[in-house]
Structure 1
């Protein structure tokens, strides 16, 4: 099984967990349909937007039912281990971090494979990673994370750029995935821990 496919399934699961946790946090009375809907949008929102902008059809989750199963699996994990998962989400924003790392690299590579310019690939990688979270935050009446002062989308761009550089030097695909994804996770975790932020516009 290709590492890209494994990462895409894992990214879908962790974003489903992230969406489920956000839904559960905002409303203790949230029903299963509401949680499932938010988890679904969080998981496939960024990738679907990317594919529509690039004209890549059918959308990944429509073409492969395993992504739907992955979403339900993430929701089930959240329900069974809510206390444990919520603890780590609050400490390190673990699931958002894992999700954006995986989806940034996947989105960047897919855009390259479709023949687009590397600059567009980096932007689409970022879109793939952050837009699901933007939709999640909007649905739960939160300020989208990319509009907060903390480093988020910038970490995705850094990882996408590293991926493109290593890609040009023909670094093995698996190693490139690991190094680029690790950079995103490291920047994000350090930014949360040390309260790094982007300078204000004015």
Structure 2
């Protein structure tokens, strides 16, 4: 019984750290590419990694904020950013690397935001929204700081991937799949949809009315 209670918490925490590291890498890569200094790169990585989760917790009235009570978040982001800045020259294909780590962060944070909302007693619709918020807000702020058009506003299969993972989770939960397995499946679905969209250049259509 103890293991059944503890394992999901440990799993969610590990997923959170995976997302934090991935987003710290993505943020540092873009900031370094833009010529930011050491502090600037760390700031961008912080915003990218914890921006979405911060907005989620504020919306759900969860206080104090998660990164204020657990300094591991700030430490991991800072160390990840510094290490990557030192070895930045190894990343020759900046665009491909950025999109890979962005996809990892998208998947991990979508699961975290979705699960946090469910544990707060939110409806499935709000849980899906919180998953999306957690996944995209940090990246949007990162791109704005770096003077880039946010990926999620460029007809990218991004929000759609997060929603697809959340809907998959709810469907599998309905048929009785355990939460631990379901989280891995949700993670995989989001990452797979995002990477397939990049590989085959899938885009959402835009609606344009002819005058």
Which TM-score applies when normalising by structure 2? 0.89
Cα distance between partner residues in 1 of 2:112 and 2:40: 28
Corresponding position: 1:167 with 2:173: yes
What corresponds to 2:204 in structure 1? 198
Tell me the C-alpha RMSD between the 2 structures: 1.6
Q: Which runs of 5+ in 2 are unaligned?
A: 1-6
Q: Which deviates more from structure 2 when the two are superposed, residues 11-20 or residues 86-95?
A: 86-95
Corresponding position: 1:67 with 2:35: no
Cα distance between partner residues in 2 of 1:167 and 1:137: 35
Q: 1:80 to 1:92 in 2, by over 3 A?
A: closer
Secondary structure of the residue aligned to 2:93 is helix
Q: 1:184 to 1:67 in 2, by over 3 A?
A: same
Corresponding position: 1:32 with 2:17: no
- Kindly state the Cα deviation for residue 85 of structure 1 after the two structures are TM-superposed: 4.3
- Kindly state the Cα deviation for residue 74 of structure 1 after the two structures are TM-superposed: 1.8
Task: Please say which structure displays the higher CA radius of gyration.
Answer: 2
Q: Which deviates more from structure 2 when the two are superposed, residues 105-114 or residues 72-81?
A: 72-81
Q: Are 2:30 and 2:98, in contact at CA under 8 Å, matched by a contact in 1?
A: no
- Kindly state the Cα deviation for residue 80 of structure 1 after the two structures are TM-superposed: 3.6
Cα distance between partner residues in 1 of 2:113 and 2:63: 15
- Kindly state the Cα deviation for residue 92 of structure 1 after the two structures are TM-superposed: 7.3
Q: Which residue of the other structure, out of 116, 123, 140, is the alignment partner of 1:117? A: 123
What corresponds to 2:111 in structure 1? 105
Q: Which residue of the other structure, out of 6, 11, 14, is the alignment partner of 1:3? A: 11
Matched positions, count: 200
What corresponds to 2:3 in structure 1? none
Q: Which runs of 5+ in 1 are unaligned?
A: none
What corresponds to 2:29 in structure 1? 21
Secondary structure of the residue aligned to 1:93 is helix
Secondary structure of the residue aligned to 2:202 is coil
Which TM-score applies when normalising by structure 1? 0.93
- Kindly state the Cα deviation for residue 177 of structure 1 after the two structures are TM-superposed: 1.5
- Kindly state the Cα deviation for residue 172 of structure 1 after the two structures are TM-superposed: 2.2
Cα distance between partner residues in 1 of 2:97 and 2:76: 24
Q: Are 2:32 and 2:85, in contact at CA under 8 Å, matched by a contact in 1?
A: no
- Kindly state the Cα deviation for residue 163 of structure 1 after the two structures are TM-superposed: 1.8
Q: 1:143 to 1:70 in 2, by over 3 A?
A: same
